[in-house]
Structure 1
Amino acid sequence: MYDAKLDTFIQVVESGSFTKAAAQLFISPVSVMKQIESLENATKVKLFNRSTKGVTLTAAGKSIYNSALQLIKASETAVEQAQNISKNEKQVIRIGTSLLRSGSLLIDLWSKVNSGELPFNLKIVPFGDDPSSMQKMLTSLGDTLDCFVGPGDSYEILNGPYKMAVLENKICYCAVPRRNHLAKKESLDWSDLDDESLLLVRRGQSPELDQLRTEIETSHSKINIVNTDNFYDIDAFNLSEQENYIMETLDIWKDLHPALVTIPMKWDYKMPYGIIYSNNASNHVRDFIKESEKLYQN
């Protein structure tokens, strides 16, 4: 906020000599003298009268000394005020949201905070679920986006520069077209899927779904697996309805497509679901996520 040589100048005035000032500042007398000379050259005035007994201020030096004290005090006050403002200033949390990865969960959580006064300002940032938009969104985490909510069982998230605050493990269901003969069942088992086509994320995208695929291939060969090229977007749900495919899904998407009904399936597959953010997230983003976890558990 000000030239640090002023601190040296004031110490010389208070000590009465370069040597004593150097001892107080834990630097060499030569360094002290060089700083004073630099200050005199910058101001173009002689600051001290030098003698074998020490140094005394010149008239010009006294003027600068008084002004320097005022400047330093004003500078310290300005810094303190700025720090206080910073402490009280709300940080902005940028939450990504899409059709399949809605940020509404976080908004709903924080709307329950007493008095309705949030310690953060929340900004909603929309993105698409198609592969290109998803890639851009993940790349922007920690830069122009702070977090999003969704399933996190993908190799890209697990092995990439991301972290996940798991809120719960979501049970995998089956989405069934309403015109399919299975649509009126309350629950499904493996035999129900015999001779059906099951829409599933292709191998190599998700550890949990890779296990599901392996079980089908080894133990339920009557089920025809239809691959999606990437993780689900709305086109996958449309394809399920158009082609009369059964589809692995989560209950968070049960109302996504009006022509599909979500039915429990008797298997043990689950997806971690939570808040995904960058490894390099700022402290205020990490604080927001920790508080969000507490709110969710309550």
Structure 2
Amino acid sequence: MLSTRQLRYFVEIAESGSFSAAAERLFIAQSALSRQIKDMETRLQTPLFERTARQPRLTAAGEAFLPRARNLLNELTKASEMATQVGTGQRGILRLSHSSTVTMSGQLLRGISVYLDQHAGVSMEIAKLSSEAQLEDLAEGRLDVGLLRLPVLRQREGVHIVPLYSERLLLAVPPNHRLAVDKSAGGIDLAQLKDEAFISIPHPQRGGLSYLSAELCMRQGFFPRAARVVSRKTTQLQLIQAGFGIALLPESMQDIAPPDIHFLPLADPDCHSTVALACRQDPSALVQHFINTCTDHCGSEPASSHRGFSPDHGD
């Protein structure tokens, strides 16, 4: 088998026109260069050069071999560059998923735009998955980055979760709801919602926004009463619009809500929800660059090793 070095030596001699000039440009002894070409010819079982007194000339076999040797070296250079770009996170496909209540808008969308602007060789695949499905896909290597809402009740081994940013919760009510008509100047007190029907209640084995909403209500002495139709997905916006009930929703969901849903401020200053970014432990360079961009443009906490990433085991 011919070596890459031999191919490079052969092309250099053909292009420079002499063994001595090629040896000088390659920074090797002419005798060593001659031995390498002789070995090539032995392996190919045919001479590549006619040795003349003035300068070597390519044989017919050499003429046929030269363009292919050049192509092989060019392809090897391209392959090496591609490997370097992928390995350093400058090229590739980033697989991202987000919970239905983590909207692709605002500061998050700006962070994604900045990342793609800075990494022209990267493309992104975005899907919508529950927090539990995201953690499973991350653990199994089917996903690169997950965006979810805390708390996380079940942590997957090898998956890191870190808070990215927080946003206030608002009370979403249907058109003509009594609270939308009789607005409180200081915001809605959660205790006022005791007899309201909530279209999102927590699953016993899942965390996220519905779990947080129930926890906030229980601090006021009641568990949210379930509406006749419930959902933990973005369909809850349509259920609220149709008058099935109310929900505590993050401020960003106003960006995708029907215009006739009323979003009312809450009196409790602790009513905030946190979006977290999840990835595998020791992320690839591609993922790490995305993490860095998100923490720089969306994050509220300073970065350290892995730009602030640490495991969060939930409740």
Same fold (TM over 0.5): yes
Deviation at 1:285, TM superposition (A): 0.9
Deviation at 1:162, TM superposition (A): 2.7
1:178-209 superposed Cα distances (whole Å, 9 cap, x missing partner):
22111242621134324323343244422886
User: Which structure carries more strand by proportion?
Assistant: 1
Structure showing greater radius of gyration is 1
**SS in structure 2 of the partner of residue 169 of structure 1:** strand
Return the alpha-carbon distance in structure 1 between the equivalents of residues 121 and 37 of structure 2: 49
1:117-167 superposed Cα distances (whole Å, 9 cap, x missing partner):
53551323333x5x6xx66554433634322434242213x4554323422
Return the alpha-carbon distance in structure 1 between the equivalents of residues 40 and 122 of structure 2: 45
Q: Which has the higher contact order (CA 8 A, sep 6+)?
A: 2
Return the alpha-carbon distance in structure 2 between the equivalents of residues 82 and 237 of structure 1: 49
1:269 aligned partner:
271
- Consecutive unaligned residues in structure 2, runs of 5 or more: 4-35, 44-69, 301-315
**SS in structure 1 of the partner of residue 178 of structure 2:** coil
Return the alpha-carbon distance in structure 1 between the equivalents of residues 151 and 215 of structure 2: 16
2:251 aligned partner:
251
Match of 1:153 among 121, 128, 151: 151
Residues 205 and 231, structure 1, Cα contact 8 Å, conserved in 2: no
The count of residues paired between Structure 1 and Structure 2 equals 235
- CA spacing shift, 1:85–1:161, aligned 2, 3 Å: closer
- CA spacing shift, 1:230–1:78, aligned 2, 3 Å: farther
- CA spacing shift, 1:257–1:188, aligned 2, 3 Å: same
Residues 169 and 249, structure 2, Cα contact 8 Å, conserved in 1: yes
Residues 152 and 276, structure 1, Cα contact 8 Å, conserved in 2: no
1:53 aligned partner:
none
Residues 150 and 274, structure 1, Cα contact 8 Å, conserved in 2: yes
- Consecutive unaligned residues in structure 1, runs of 5 or more: 4-60, 69-73
1:87 aligned partner:
84
1:195 aligned partner:
195
| Correspondence list, 1:1-298, <5 A | 63-64=38-39, 82-88=79-85, 90-96=91-97, 100-104=101-105, 106-112=108-114, 116-127=117-128, 137-141=134-138, 143-156=141-154, 158-159=155-156, 161-184=158-181, 185=183, 187-198=187-198, 199-206=200-207, 210=211, 213=214, 216-217=217-218, 219-221=220-222, 224-226=224-226, 232-258=232-258, 259-267=260-268, 268-279=270-281, 281-296=283-298
Return the alpha-carbon distance in structure 2 between the equivalents of residues 113 and 217 of structure 1: 40
User: In structure 2, what residue type is equivalent to 1:146?
Assistant: D
Return the alpha-carbon distance in structure 1 between the equivalents of residues 208 and 127 of structure 2: 27
Please, what TM-score do these two structures have when normalized by structure 1? 0.58
Deviation at 1:296, TM superposition (A): 2.9
Between 210-219 and 269-278, the greater mean CA deviation after superposition? 210-219
Return the alpha-carbon distance in structure 2 between the equivalents of residues 168 and 182 of structure 1: 29
Between 172-181 and 96-105, the greater mean CA deviation after superposition? 96-105
- CA spacing shift, 1:65–1:123, aligned 2, 3 Å: closer
User: In structure 2, what residue type is equivalent to 1:125?
Assistant: I
Return the alpha-carbon distance in structure 2 between the equivalents of residues 215 and 107 of structure 1: 28
Deviation at 1:174, TM superposition (A): 1.6
1:222-261 superposed Cα distances (whole Å, 9 cap, x missing partner):
x752279997213333333445422121112123332422
Residues 91 and 120, structure 1, Cα contact 8 Å, conserved in 2: yes
The root-mean-square deviation of aligned C-alpha atoms, in Å, is 4.6
Residues 165 and 289, structure 1, Cα contact 8 Å, conserved in 2: no
Residues 110 and 118, structure 1, Cα contact 8 Å, conserved in 2: no
Return the alpha-carbon distance in structure 2 between the equivalents of residues 108 and 228 of structure 1: 38
Residues 152 and 274, structure 1, Cα contact 8 Å, conserved in 2: yes
Return the alpha-carbon distance in structure 2 between the equivalents of residues 86 and 119 of structure 1: 16
- CA spacing shift, 1:79–1:113, aligned 2, 3 Å: closer
Please, what TM-score do these two structures have when normalized by structure 2? 0.55
